Homo-oligomer: A and B are copies of this chain.
């Protein structure tokens, strides 16, 4: 019997306890070891829980118990999850987590501490919920150069965009619906501003390219400014708008890494990832495109990924797993202003033809888009590849000519 502890008894934590309990026998068959839960750490009381005897409010109980070999940190947030994780690793306990915020901000440091103490720090559940992605990506890496990773990494925003696309619901109404259904939190900032997706693409990029990419160096833009007009123009262009976390290695060895809404062609496998689902595309030089699809969140999917990591730790007690990357700084990220891509622009104009003539002058190969029921004062067009700083210069010049730019959205090469 190997003892574990679960820190945090929220949605994921209670799921972990449930999966470990209900799959006890099949897990024991697979690991040749029973996995016990000795402690559940939470500051709250759960008087009706059948796991009464396991609850503790004291982290020290877990830390000081040498029987506990694996700890699931499913508290979320950076503090005190960081301090707890660090102490557990230093005491020779492996830690598994679903905490993307912690991995994205402290991953390199915690992996280093794990290595030093010959234990594991695993985080399959931090990206894609129940979709296996961290392990397959590590595996892919062995025989591939990863050219690009791009994904729909946040289910809440994908649900909102799907409602806007399919039912012409406004952003505000779709957000309200997501909140009513429990997909979005009361304070939806981390989802709708792209921070959650940002943490996830940072984790994938760090793993794929071997150096920690910190979220503060990544251009991160949410979906709050997307309108139904933009959705309609995306359709007339032949695609959909999705919030994409993306990283590619550029020729100068820096990373073009970003989270932002993008126009995605309908034929792309990512375009059909709808509702609360996530889809992650990994483009390898040998494998070509591989796509992983499934529920990116939720109690049992996420818990099942945490439990898979616990099992892996139990099978590899005193043996290190493959996960590892070095620390990184802003020099590995291409400044956003220097990244290059084609763009969609929507403008409020008085005189369409003159405005379009000006667009032809300012933007690379501007081509006008049309949509049904477009107002007289609306112009939309797409361009060829331009650097962001060129785009911004052109937008400025355009606005100085009296045209108001309402939307500017990246066009993906997926």
Contacts and interface: CB of A to CB of B under 8 A. Distances in A.
Interface residues on A, range: 35 or more
Interface in A323-340: none
B291 A294 contact: yes
- Copies of this chain in the oligomer: 2
Interface in A272-326: 272, 284-295, 298, 300-301, 303-305, 307-308, 311-312, 315, 322
Contact of A292 (B272, B292, B315): B292
Contacts of A179: none
B289 A27 contact: no
A317 to B, nearest CB: 13
A11 to B, nearest CB: 13
A227 interface: no
A118 interface: no
Interface stretch (A128-136, A344-352, A400-408): A128-136
Among A26, A135, A269, residue most surrounded by chain B Cβ atoms (within 10 Å): A269
Contacts of A26: 141-142, 145
B304 A30 contact: no
Nearest to A129: B287
Given A141-B30, A308-B140, A290 B290 contact: no
A121 B124 CA distance: 25
A235 interface: no
Contacts of A269: 272, 293
Nearest to A15: B286
25 contacts: A23-B142, A23-B145, A26-B141, A27-B143, A30-B142, A124-B139, A130-B286, A130-B288, A131-B287, A132-B132, A135-B135, A140-B304, A142-B308, A142-B311, A143-B303, A269-B272, A286-B304, A287-B294, A287-B301, A288-B298, A290-B294, A291-B293, A291-B294, A292-B292, A315-B322
